[in-house]
Copies of this chain bind each other. A is one copy, B any other.
Amino acid sequence: MTDETVSTWPPRRARTKGDKRYALIYETAARLFHEKGYEATTLDDLASEVGLRKGSLYHYIDSKEDLLFRIVDHTHRFFLEVVAQVVDAARSPLDEIFAIAAAHSRFAVENFYITSAFYSDRAALSADRRRAISRTRDAYEAKVRDLIREGQGRGEIADDLDPTLAARGLLGMLNSIQQRHRLSKEMTPDAVAEEYSRLCVRALRP
């Protein structure tokens, strides 16, 4: 669980030639969890979509919960990376928020299946894992909140906003993307990213 890098999807296990099927299983699982919910998705559903029998899945996964965790965890790590990258002192807080919103949106459109699981099926995770996910979410939210505060200090962001509420509002908006938008000709990642980050920064301006 510690050897995956954020930039590969699905998270790698051993480097075997079964990697292609391995990827297929994780992608299909993410889609099914998105479509039917984690609890309502059976391993039989998953197995038959990837052309295996139920029992054979256990060559690729440890458990159903572990499958969910790996998917969630991947999104998780990606968001951490995003935040890390935009911490760039050269930019203003509002610019950072714009950059975060754009990266978040783009990722959500491109990976809407896996993003979808991020906030919806936490209940199925073990208490430990759930706590881990919550910690990341809180850190993410805290980062945005701090940027808002900083922006208020600099007069870039309206004074009358409550930083906590505003941060949650913006992230709530960004986290709804994968519910409604998916890749299509009109709905390019860039178009969506542009629109949502615009909404975010305008909402904050004095």
A residues bordering B, Cβ < 8 Å? 35-40, 119-121, 123-124, 158, 160-162, 165-166, 168-177, 179-181, 191-192, 195-196, 198-200, 202-205
The listed residue with most B CB atoms (<10 A of its CB), out of A36, A162, A172, A174, is A172
Q: Which residues of B contact A39 (CB under 8 A)?
A: 37-40
Q: Which residues of B contact A160 (CB under 8 A)?
A: 198
When all copies of this chain in the complex are counted, the total is 4
Q: Which residues of B contact A196 (CB under 8 A)?
A: 165, 169
Q: How far is the CB of A159 from chain B (nearest CB, A)?
A: 12
Check if B169 sits within 8 Å of A199, measured CB to CB. yes
CB closest residue in chain B, given A201? B203
Q: How far is the CB of A205 from chain B (nearest CB, A)?
A: 7
